[in-house]
Amino acid sequence: MPTERVAQQGFTLIELLVSMGLLGILLLVVFSIFMSSNNLIETDTSRVNATQNTQSAMDLLASDVRQAGENLDLSLGVSGLEFNASSLTIRRSIPPLTALQAPSTEPTLAGQTVKTMSVCSLNTSTKQIQIVGPPPSTSSTAPTATTTCTYSTRPDGEDANVKIWRVYFAAEDNRPQVGLLVRPKTSAQTALIERVAVVRVEATQTQNYGSTTVRRVFVTLRDPIPAGFSATNGSTLTLIDERRYLRDSTANELRLALGGQTDTEAAVVAFNVTDFTTTALLGAAGTSPEETVSSLGLTGPWSRVKKVNLSLTAGNSGTGRSRSRTFTTSIFPRNVESAQ
């Protein structure tokens, strides 16, 4: 009996090539859709990151500029703002101690202010300035302190004003703080002001002269003591609240240094910064016309500042495609009127 054979059918070469071609086209379409979606997501992510990066920094800048000069002691002759092409410094008076800053054992210290201290003596070799007590002496007779350098003893033995300095440094985690050395203007001398970094308040020193005990307190500076200041020309040392923004052109970052922090200690507040500009509109005064300036110094004409213009261009912080945004704002410092 003959055997029935079953026909074996398969794809021909042409059918296989056509199928593979259709599959390739389908994969190409899917891949194109995927890439378009991915590009759109990356673009949106980059745009959002760049906006957040730049806007957050600008909000911080604007808030600080509005507070520039707050309760600033105008007799110091220092400007609430100092800026140039790469940095912006905001200064204000240190506010009174809060209940959180005051020690729990002495809640009455809350509300007290950090006083300006007289320069009682200088030690250039140790970078130290004496802020209370009579000047050092090798005589066997106890020296007499001037009226401004008298040690006002508290029950715990501390000087009353130095105690506030110590509490403030402790509240700031004993970080270096900005101080202003000021030599007042008199008929015999011109005014002089220099910014310094106060590293710490030293422990009280005692020296016995027979039955008399003399107490002195020194502060130590980070850098050498500037020339022109002494115990005999009315020089004073004042702690001040300072926030300094600086553009790092090497890393393309905007950094913020608090108090006496150095440039390397400053924290990053914006990434991929390609432009940071500060200008100020100064009002007319005397023979000085109204003008727009791109820089203002330590003793700049604070009372003439009418408007501050800020411009910041920055990109995203590394996520997504490279994008950048520019934000500009104009601020009218609210504390200028008190200086006019």
The proportion of the chain whose per-residue pLDDT surpasses 90, expressed as a percent, equals 62
- Give the integer Cα–Cα distance in Å for 290 and 196: 32
DSSP tally for the chain: helices H, then strands E: 2, 16
What average pLDDT does range 77-81 have in this prediction? Answer: 93
pLDDT in tens, 7-47: 556 667 777 777 788 888 888 887 777 776 666 655 555 55
Helix (H, G, I), strand (E, B) or coil at 311: strand
- Give the integer Cα–Cα distance in Å for 112 and 98: 8
Structure tokens at 256: 């913020």
pLDDT in tens, 129-175: 999 999 888 787 888 878 889 999 999 999 999 999 999 999 999 99
pLDDT in tens, 108-127: 999 999 999 999 999 999 99
Beta strands (DSSP E) in 202-323 are 205-209, 212-221, 236-248, 253-258, 267-270, 273-282, 291-293, 305-315
Residue 305 pLDDT > 90: yes
The amino acid at 95: P
Domain residue extents for the chain: 48-339
Tell which residue, 322, 301, 298, has the closest CA to residue 82.
Answer: 298
Average pLDDT, the chain: 88
pLDDT at position 231: 93
Burial environment of residue 67 by CB neighbours within 10 A (0 to 12, 13 to 18, 19 or more): middle
Give exposure, 132-170, as e/b (b: 16+ Cβ within 10 Å): bbbbeeeeeebbebeeebebeeeeeebbebbbbbbbbbe
- Give the integer Cα–Cα distance in Å for 251 and 108: 46
- Give the integer Cα–Cα distance in Å for 203 and 226: 23
What pTM was computed for the model? 0.82
